Amino acid sequence: MESYRGTDGRSGTAVLVSEEARQRWLHAYGLPHGHAHDRLPGAGAEQTWTTSTPRLNRLARMAAAVAEVPFAVVNVITADEQHQIAAFGVDPSVCSREDSMCAKVFLDDHPAVVPDASRDPRFRDNPFVTGVIADVRGYVSVPLHAEVPLGSLCVFSSAPATITPDQLVLLENLAENVIDVLELERRDRQLDASLAEAAATAERLEDFARQVSHDLRTPLTSLLGFLELAQEADHEAQAPELLRRADGAGRRMLDSLRDLLDHAVSGSHLESGPVDLGALVHRVQDDVADLAARTGATIECAGGIVRGDESHLRSLVQNLVVNALKYCPADRAPRVRITAVDADGHSGILVEDNGAGIPPADRDRLLRDGGRLRRSGEPPGTGLGLGICRHIAEAHGGRIVLVDTALGGLGVRASWPVGAAG
């Protein structure tokens, strides 16, 4: 594999880098890189790169003035092309690396100074010299070298020309300025990315705080309910069982809090794997036992395996089950059916109920904007549950859809490609 002299960014010592590594550095600098056939469809050989900035164009103009020639360009050499990312006196263009004059010398440790390219054996048959592309005669190419060779600062004319040693020193200084500009723009992009990540982190923390409050409310309600019943028990024999159930609710609350905090520390990372849906639903039934008992609810699950993050999926199922129980009309006992999604390379969960449902016209809005329909007679609530479930599905690389169900209420289908869930 072709190798080039590069620089270790930590120690500054010279190292050998591969062409593949050089292309990665071009990408890091926001420069054209790779092979022409890897570009987006429709990007032909005449395409010019959009990285050119006023600062680079000014440096090209200064280079032409220093060398007292009419033309100057900043060239980047990719795997098989030369891109002029800044220019003075000519329009920026793209040519093949094979036709490029600078591609023959940009890996050298020193500038190439050619008074008449038509007399130089390296260039006399080049299409930029023979008239096929241009009629270059006087030509100077100063390598652009950062961590790896990137390309060149090139000045040229259509007539033979020479430059003085002082002019060459100034051109080398301008080439260093080009690298400084590219490095500054790379740091600017890194800063923008860091700021965007910080904003996303702040948003995730806000969502996390809401999720903690929402997910802990159900086991906390059960805990308080069992303690209240234990205090009011008519027979001492009932108290130990109620206290046992209160203790279980408290432990489930602590488990949920620990899981949520773990995910807060790990960010958006998922620990995906096969999850036993039957066992997961059994734990959710324990979490909502008090609410299910008060509403006379029936929760069904046929089992199955779902691919995903277990604690996230538990939160998803719990939120959907709680919504189904809380918002079921008073004229019926809630019924909830939970099944595993396993079709067309997707995994996920379908939760169906026999409640009032959501009109099709309102479904996309509720999924997109969150909130509730605020129907008369419904209990108070924040409407966060569905939004939390949407975020969980998206974290797995999938989405949520609201569908009709044979139970007569609403079906919530959360699914994702199996590969996306890890």
Q: Could you read off the pLDDT of 257-290 as tens digits, one per residue?
A: 555 554 444 445 678 899 999 999 999 998 888 8
Across residues 321-330, what is the average pLDDT?
A: 89
| Alpha carbon distances (Å) from 77 to 67, 88, 101, 313 | 23, 18, 11, 49
Least confident range from 1-5, 51-55, 63-67, 331-335: namely 1-5
Q: Residue 277 has what pLDDT?
A: 96
Sheet with strand 411-417: strands edge to edge: 298-301, 335-343, 346-353, 411-417, 399-403
Is a pLDDT exceeding 90 seen at residue 125? yes
Q: Could you read off the pLDDT of 339-378 as tens digits, one per residue?
A: 999 988 899 999 999 998 888 888 887 776 554 454 445 5
CB-count exposure of residue 232 (10 Å: 0-12, 13-18, 19+):
exposed
Across residues 316-331, what is the average pLDDT?
A: 90
Q: Residue 267 has what pLDDT?
A: 45
Q: Could you read off the pLDDT of 134-169 as tens digits, one per residue?
A: 999 999 999 999 888 999 999 999 999 999 999 999
Between CA 207 and CA 216 the distance in angstroms is 14
Give the other-Cβ count within 10 Å of 293's Cβ: 11
Exposure string for 103-142, b = 16+ CB within 10 A, e = fewer: bebbbeeebbbbebbbebeebeebbbbeeeebebbbbbbb
Cβ–Cβ < 8 Å for 102, 122: no
Across residues 98-124, what is the average pLDDT?
A: 94
Across residues 378-403, what is the average pLDDT?
A: 75
pLDDT band at 213 (very low <50, low <70, confident <90, very high): low
DSSP 47: P
Residue type at position 33: H
The pTM (predicted TM-score) of the whole model is: 0.49
pLDDT band at 214 (very low <50, low <70, confident <90, very high): low
Q: Where are the alpha helices (DSSP H) in 52-164?
A: 54-67, 127-130
Q: Residue 233 has what pLDDT?
A: 56
Q: Residue 178 has what pLDDT?
A: 92
| Alpha carbon distances (Å) from 80 to 34, 100, 106, 133 | 8, 10, 14, 17
Tokens of 211: 């999720």
SS3 111: coil
Across residues 68-84, what is the average pLDDT?
A: 94
In this structure, what are the phi and psi dihedrals at residue 298, rounded to the nearest 5 degrees?
A: -115, 125
Question: What percentage of the chain reaches a pLDDT higher than 70?
Answer: 70
